[in-house]
Amino acid sequence: MSERETIGALGVAIVMLLVALRVPVGIAMGLVAFGGISAAISVKAGLGILSAVPFELVGDWNLSAIPMFLLMGYVAASTELTKNLFRSARISLGWLPGGLASATVISAALFASASGSSVATAAAFSRTAVPEMLRANYHPGLATGAVAAAGTLGALIPPSVLMIVYGITMSESINSLFLAGLLPGILSAAMFILYITLRVTLNPSLAPRVTEEVSEEERREAFRDVWPLPLIIVCVIGGIFAGLFTPTEAGAIGAGLTILLAVLRRSFTVAGFRDALRRTATGTASIFIIVVGAALFQRLLGLTGIAGYFSDLVSTHIHTQLGLILSIALLYLVMGCFLEPVSIMLLTLPVLTPVLEHFDVNLVWFAVITVKLLEMGMVTPPMGLNIFVVKGAMGDEVTLGQIFRGTFGFLASDFVTLALIIAFPILSLWLPGAAQ
């Protein structure tokens, strides 16, 4: 190993140490990158990259899609455009065994795809769906597990913030990534519903059947209040797939359409809009800090050659593409227990890119695998973030152990879905290929 490669290896080790000490990931990567480049080349080079990269990256037009999609979701939530979403799904799926939990999966998937946030989805449905399931005598583990797991679906179902970050980092078409995630996202939701149905069929005491008489007027009222959110999603995704506008433009169109519908429905308030802007600014800033730190860290890896050295090292021990994918899956599942998805993605992709290219891995297919693994980490112990969000919302009504145990079956479903995505790349690549 050369001197520069040694500096690069030390940089990777120091970043891992700082992250373990709870230093914010973006700050850790940026500081180590500056120090490593200064040691490998010169302080002047380190300062030059430190001043040039953030400006160059944040000025990237594609990154503006992130605050726009976040704003779309936060405005939809704060102006009650998601009102009655769970009730309409419950009316439609109430006849299924565990119908309330299945309704949660469908409505949370729609909400998550609009908000782009697993955490926001878990928090919202913890306050609406879980109390209703508990009143219907559902097992607390099933009720809370369904909410925690269903919140992760928005990462695959477009528009997805994680897909945007991946596309910018790996220089892949965001349009293709959105298309690639659609079928696996629908498959994930279907697997959750299948798991709920089978489990409740085998053990009906987990979710007593709810017999609810719903009049035609009540049914119409429930569905009348639901249409704004599906309309927004159809307009945004349909416009992207039809080529009417780019994913970046779609974010602004979606945010504008959400505000317009809120005004027309008279649910728009200055206080709600101010809160949505504040949450959008906070979310965007945290993502951008990580993105900038990762870009600086990527420069360090490139200049020191450690990424290439790591690629050669891996290729001597792993000889098949499947072996590589399974090894990366294990790495992501372990990291997902301790870090949030954007941090994991931007911490690992600069190191993994040369290895993926060496094994000729399709980067669009790998994006779906990556996002699926990262979102599984949101419900894995000991630090599954969605679990603690649900616990925080429910207080003492449900124990942390009940929530964790409730997610195990959904995690098993996710492993089945992941195996299908890996075994059949066509699930991810058919739609992008058909659109070309």
| 164 pLDDT higher than 80 | yes
More confident position, 83 or 40? 40
- At 42 the pLDDT is 86
| Number of domains into which the chain is organized | 1
pTM, to two decimals: 0.82
CA proximity to 177, closest of 335, 363, 306: 363
- Do residues 299 and 51 make contact, with C-beta atoms less than 8 angstroms apart? no
User: What is the C-alpha to C-alpha distance for residues 183 and 157, in angstroms, rounded to an integer?
Assistant: 8
| pLDDT tens for each residue of 292-313 | 888 888 788 778 877 677 767 7
**Domain containing 431: what range?**
3-435
- Do residues 296 and 340 make contact, with C-beta atoms less than 8 angstroms apart? no
CA proximity to 293, closest of 363, 346, 371: 346
More confident position, 256 or 214? 256
- The predicted model gives 42-52 an average pLDDT of 85
| pLDDT tens for each residue of 362-395 | 999 999 999 999 888 888 876 677 888 788 777 7
| pLDDT tens for each residue of 236-272 | 878 877 778 877 788 888 888 888 888 888 888 888 8
Q: What tokens appear for 424 in the block?
A: 């059949």
User: What is the C-alpha to C-alpha distance for residues 232 and 281, in angstroms, rounded to an integer?
Assistant: 22
- Do residues 38 and 45 make contact, with C-beta atoms less than 8 angstroms apart? yes
| 424 pLDDT higher than 90 | yes
- At 74 the pLDDT is 78
Cis preceding linkage at 432, omega within 30: no
pLDDT band at 217 (very low <50, low <70, confident <90, very high): low
Classify 24 as helix, strand or coil. Answer: coil
pLDDT band at 81 (very low <50, low <70, confident <90, very high): low
How far CA 416 is from CA of 33, 41, 162, 190, 195, in Å, comes to 38, 47, 22, 12, 11
More confident position, 160 or 322? 322
pLDDT band at 198 (very low <50, low <70, confident <90, very high): very high
Q: Which residues of 362-372 are buried (b: 16+ CB within 10 A; e: fewer)?
A: ebbbbbbbbbb
Q: What tokens appear for 166 in the block?
A: 């991946």
- The predicted model gives 111-115 an average pLDDT of 71
- At 267 the pLDDT is 80
Of the segments 41-50, 112-121, 206-215, which one has the largest average pLDDT value? 41-50
| pLDDT tens for each residue of 327-342 | 888 888 888 777 778 8
- At 219 the pLDDT is 64
Q: Name the region of 83 (left: φ>0; alpha: ψ -120 to 50; beta: rest).
A: beta
- At 361 the pLDDT is 92
pLDDT band at 426 (very low <50, low <70, confident <90, very high): very high
- At 221 the pLDDT is 65
Q: Distance from CA of residue 203 to its chain's centroid?
A: 31
